[in-house]
Amino acid sequence: MPTLPYSNALVIGAGSWGTALAAVLAERGLQVQFWGRDPVLMEEIQTTRRNTRYLPGLVLADSIQAISDLEALRPADLVMFVVPSKAVRETAAIMVAHPALQQTQVVISCAKGVELETGKRLTQILAESFTHTPLAVLTGPNHAEEVSQRMATAAVVACDQENIARDVQTCFTLPWFRSYTSDDVTGVEWAGAMKNPYAIAAGIALGLKLGDNAIAALVTRALAEMVRMGSAMGGRPESFMGLGGVGDLMATCYSQHSRNHRVGRLLGEGMPLQEIMSSTRMVAEGVPNTASLHQAARAKGVRTPLLDEIYAMLYEAKPAREAMRTLLSRDPRAETE
């Protein structure tokens, strides 16, 4: 394998994806610091080598140092933000002032979302804190549960600096983990944010027992809507046809591991949204992202009939069957419109 361009990494965020990424980087040969806010959880991880709260099946390498004390952080070449999208701004503001991050060579966004208040992508938020540090995105159809089992995985590393993208790619090159590069940061970030609400819709269709035909149609039209919205926001259409777009969309809309799909399925089966959200520690990004994306689409004047109905179900208490009926009864049009 290629020589590593970085020697140590800091993974910020102790959820399932952060835990899986810490394991990947350690297997690749980097020294890994794994930081989370909860001192009880991080002490448990450090002692038992397991994150029983979020990814219990994975045993972490002894070389991974799990910590919650900011004072214990050491300098890191590569820093990965793997916190929920709504926590990115606050966490970045805390981390940027730490001496350990002053010489960081690249900051990587691993969450997916758009900020409700500003409509900004996550790298745009990180750029406000890390003004002189290159920023990249790691995205794609990557469920932590499968990555933790070292199952075949592919991802996209997006950065507007090709040399940085290739360096990060090297860190995510293993016999079972293959990564590709892209310079379309805008496109892959919008794709990653948009697929989550559509996964909720696919889950609702499953919960309503609408059948495979309906779900396939829904996912296909979701992709068309992603391309329309993402292109209007400055992304390139071809980025939505890759791993960060259609690849991630398919995984999220069909997988049993998808939190957003689970939320949708339970909604379709009749469970109230608040009850669903309070029944799990996991963050289903599609719920807050629906509000952010709906607002962004209205501000930009982009036609998003699917997103409109998902928003109505989540935020206006529109019954799921009525929303699906609305979609099916829309005026006929050409497929390319």
Q: What is the pLDDT of residue 326?
A: 85
Place of tokens 């520690």: 281
SS3 state at 332: coil
Find, among 177, 163, 161, the residue nearest to 27 by Cα.
177
DSSP per residue over 6-65, as a string?
-SEEEEE--SHHHHHHHHHHHHHT-EEEEE-S-HHHHHHHHHHS-BTTTBTTPPPPTT-E
DSSP single-letter state for residue 221: H
Active site (catalytic) residues: 195
**Confidence (pLDDT) at 265:** 93
Report the Cα 154 to chain-centroid distance in Å: 14
Q: Residue 140, annotated ligand binder?
A: yes
- Tell whether 57 is in a known binding site: no
Number of neighbouring beta carbons within 10 Å of residue 89: 18
Q: What is the mean pLDDT of each run of 10 residues along the chain (337 residues)?
A: 91 97 98 97 98 96 96 96 95 94 95 92 97 97 95 97 98 97 98 93 93 92 95 96 96 89 91 83 79 94 95 93 82 69
- CATH code of the domain made up of 190-328: 1.10.1040.10
The verdict on whether residue 259 carries a ligand-binding annotation is yes
pLDDT of residue 281: 67
The answer to the question of whether 318 is labelled as a binding residue is: no
pLDDT for residue 247: 96
- Ligand-binding annotation for 15, yes or no, is yes
86 in a labelled binding site: no
260 is in an annotated binding site: yes
The backbone torsions φ and ψ at residue 71, rounded to the nearest 5 degrees and listed phi first, read -65, -20
The residue ranges of every structural domain in the chain are 8-183, 190-328
Q: Residue-wise over 142-151: b if at least 16 C-beta within 10 A, else e?
A: bbbbbbbebe
Answer yes or no: are the C-beta atoms of 135 and 165 closer than 8 Å. Answer: no
CA-to-CA distance for 12 and 19, rounded, in angstroms?
10
The reply, when asked if residue 16 is annotated as ligand binding, is yes
The residue among 255, 282, 283 whose CA lies nearest residue 53 is 282
The bridge status of strand 31-35 relative to strand 65-67 is parallel
CA 144-139-129 angle, 5° bins: 110
- Which of 149, 122, 128 shows the shortest CA–CA distance to 19? 149
Say which CATH architecture domain 8-183 belongs to: 3-Layer(aba) Sandwich (3.40)
Contact 55, 19 (CB under 8 A): yes
- The answer to whether the CB of 196 falls within 8 A of the CB of 286 is yes
